[in-house]
Amino acid sequence: MEGGILKTAGAEIYYQTHGAGPAVVLAHGIGGNHAIWYGQIEILARSNRVILFDHRGFGQSRDLDGRGRDAFVEDLTTLLDHLGVDRAALVGQSMGAGTCIGFAHQAPERVAALAICDSLHGVVESEAVKAIMDVARANTAAMDQIDRVLGAGAPRDLAMLYRQISSFNAADRHSLTGRFTARPAADLAGKGFPILFLCGTEDVIFPIEAVRLVQEEVAGSFLVEINDVGHSAFLEAPVQFNDTILSLLQMAGHVGKGGAAHSNTAGYARVEGKA
């Protein structure tokens, strides 16, 4: 592992890198930081260089000028420049997807693949999507953060771990400043890289019905739904999440010498004597 603090315009950005090969960026959501990806690092780093970072105001990063989301894309650009990464696959969860979408619009030539996970940040909502999202926003506004981000069946120790990791953040959903620039979902199409939407079917923040409608707007994209999990599919169903991301990397031809690293190949059940 390598890591450190990168001083940018108005911020100090903490980052880590794991493994070697084509770069994969993991961008965390509002309740997380670099530590939230503990279930993805080992698998993804077998054939790729995995880059973790704390958005300014989260984890060990500091937001010195208070720009918040307004500077997230700029910070990611500066970090990739610092690490000498010309092209990366971007995996963004919730808030982090807004960062990745913004970067993809700004520098599509530097994107090998884009995974939009449990998120519609940075996307202009159609009337139909807005109707669904307005209900979701009203229903979740007063919810405890754990009830918002984890499905009803999530184990109690996972909820405790989530709280402990998020306790290191200076910013939360109430105090975070700035906003993502929203563009029509259709603008993501035709940029030369595969686009995956991934969502838990029990996500109460970004309901699957809204995600389905947005995914249909992005020509050539595809959607993977993970059953019985909420807003944090990567935490609740890491095997399914990891294998989906690995498949995206293979589709993009963005895999290093380690080759395929699918985590649950040995776990597929045989049915009537056939795999």
Q: What is the pTM of this model?
A: 0.93
pLDDT 10s digits, 131-149: 999 999 999 999 999 999 9
Nearest CA among 95, 103, 137 for reference residue 120: 95
User: What is residue 274's predicted lDDT score, i.e. its pLDDT?
Assistant: 45
What share of the chain in percent tops pLDDT 90? Answer: 89
Contact 44, 243 (CB under 8 A): no
User: What is residue 257's predicted lDDT score, i.e. its pLDDT?
Assistant: 77
**244 within some domain:** yes
**275 within some domain:** no
Name the least confident of 110-119, 120-129, 217-226, 250-259.
Answer: 250-259
Number of domains in the chain: 1
**267 within some domain:** no
**12 within some domain:** yes
Query: Does the pLDDT of residue 268 top 50, yes or no?
Result: no
pLDDT 10s digits, 49-62: 999 999 999 999 99
Query: Mean of the pLDDT values across residues 85-94?
Result: 98
The sign of the dihedral angle between the CA atoms of 140, 146, 149, 154 is negative
Structural domain of 56: 2-257
Please report, for the domain that includes residue 106, its CATH number: 3.40.50.1820
**263 within some domain:** no
**274 within some domain:** no
Taking CA 200 as the corner, what is the angle to CA 69 and CA 71, rounded to the nearest 5 degrees?
10
